[in-house]
Amino acid sequence: MNEIDVKYFISELKKRSLYDFSDYSYKSINRRIVGVVEDYKLSVNQILKQVSLDRTFAEKLVSDITVNTTSFFRDSNVWVNLANSVYPSLFYNDKINIWHAGCSSGKEVYSNLILLSELGLIDKVDIVATDISKEMLSVAKKATYQNFYLDNIQKQYNHVMDNTDIKNYNDISKYIDEENNYVTIKKELRDKVKFYYHDLVSDNETPFFQKFDIIFCRNVLIYFNPELQNKIVGGFLKKLYGKGFLLIGASEQINGAFKTRFVNKCGVYCKNKQSHFFYK
């Protein structure tokens, strides 16, 4: 597939399925689409035809094109930081609204819920999670994962908890059921999350109206071009309360027009109430 094909593919896909990849980082989306088309062993036109005929095929295609890498308590520093400084600042809130934008298979959402439960904030939180792939959303709702050594929840959880200020934390088994190499998140946690389909790229309104104290959008922006990154960060800014937090990936940064609207505190961006540059 050459460049024209990929562009053609993206525009056709947008027409046929309302999935818009045109503002995705070109190199990345190019690699993904080329890879997926090769895997499917079908011609571009065959795939596009199938997309207009079969909705589930379209869902599958989208979940294959998008990158869904996630793991429990990924980047332990972020979680330690959340536990030690971000959540304590929200401790006296009556309600903590959290949005996981691009939740993928939900491991991050459940990691967060486990942490909140350990902090005793679980009853205050209102969590919504959105993703572009309906297939991934259904995985997230089911919350059953293969427990491979790559993904050793127990180890990662203990590692995070050992570094937080939380003393005498519960064993992870309080939150998950383990069976035949599969782990399932317990129902109490699953019921806490509202999953919605939402495409960050589209101009469609979010399927909820509240504002948030924390927005998670980790390792999502890297797939978009700078203009789109900017637009999405602007969208988050509108959805955040003053002093709200935006969590982005370890290797991501907020650049461009909205850079000055946030204060970077150890990788967690805090919304700046004033619009001028913040000097420490």
Partner 1 sequence: MKTQSNSNILTKYLFRGVFIGVLIWILIYLVNLDSAAFRDTNHTIADMFYVFPAMWVVTLLPVILGIIGYGYAYMFVKRIERQKKYINRETKRSETTLKFIDDLRKGSYDMSDEYFDKKDDLTVSLFKLRDYLLQSKKEQELQHIEEEQRNWVTQGLAQFGENLRVNTDNLELFSYNIIRYLVNYLKINQGGVYLANEQNGEKYFELTACVAFDRKKYADKKINWNEGLIGRAAIEKQYIYITDIPNDYVTITSGLGQANPKALLIVPLLANEQVHGVIELASFSEFQQFEIDFVERTAESLASTISSVKINMKTAELLKDSQMQRERMLQQEEELRQNLEEMRATQEDSDRREIEMKGILEAIDNSSISCEFATDGTLLSVNQMFLKTFKYMDDEIEDQNIAIFFFQDDVENLNKILDNLQNGINYKGRTRRRTKLGEEIYLLSNYTPVMDSRGNIIKILSLEMDITEQVKMEEQMKKSKEELGLLLEQTRNEVKDSFKEMEYVKIRNEKTLEGALDAIITINELGVINFFNLAAEKLWGYERKEVLGQQIEMLFALETIKNNDFVKGLVTDKEKIIVGERREVPIKNKFGEEIPVLFLISDAKVGDQHSYTAFIQNVEVELF
Kindly list the residues in this chain that would bind partner 1 in the complex (CB under 8 A): 25, 27-28, 31-32, 35, 67-69, 146, 148, 150, 181, 219, 221-223, 226, 249, 251-253, 255
Q: How far is the CB of 124 from partner 1 (least distance, A)?
A: 32
Residue 253 is which amino acid? Q
Q: How far is the CB of 54 from partner 1 (least distance, A)?
A: 22
First to last CA, the chain: 51
Q: How far is the CB of 27 from partner 1 (least distance, A)?
A: 6
- The CA distance from 197 to 262, in Å, is 27
Do residues 133 and 57 make contact, with C-beta atoms less than 8 angstroms apart?
A: no
The residues near 26 (Cβ < 8 Å, ≥ 6 apart) are: 225
Nearer to partner 1, 126 or 151 (CB): 151
Q: How far is the CB of 69 from partner 1 (least distance, A)?
A: 4
Nearer to partner 1, 4 or 150 (CB): 150
Which residues pair with residue 100 across a beta bridge?
Answer: 129, 216
Beta strands in the chain (DSSP E): 96-101, 125-131, 144-146, 176-179, 182-185, 193-197, 212-217, 240-248, 262-265, 268-271
Helices then strands, counting H and E runs in the chain, come out as 11, 10
- The CA distance from 276 to 270, in Å, is 14
Q: How far is the CB of 92 from partner 1 (least distance, A)?
A: 31
Nearer to partner 1, 234 or 249 (CB): 249
Q: How far is the CB of 95 from partner 1 (least distance, A)?
A: 33
Which residues pair with residue 240 across a beta bridge?
Answer: 212
DSSP letter for each residue of 223-264: GB-HHHHHHHHHHHHHHEEEEEEEEE-TT----GGGGGGEEE
Q: How far is the CB of 174 from partner 1 (least distance, A)?
A: 25
Q: How far is the CB of 28 from partner 1 (least distance, A)?
A: 4
SS3 state of residue 279:
coil
Nearer to partner 1, 32 or 239 (CB): 32
Nearer to partner 1, 226 or 242 (CB): 226
CA dihedral 112→123→270→21, nearest 10 degrees, is 50
Nearer to partner 1, 70 or 112 (CB): 70
Nearer to partner 1, 43 or 255 (CB): 255
Q: How many CB atoms lie within 10 A of CB 45?
A: 11
- The CA distance from 45 to 80, in Å, is 48
- Token code pair at residue 93: 């809130």
Nearer to partner 1, 39 or 203 (CB): 39
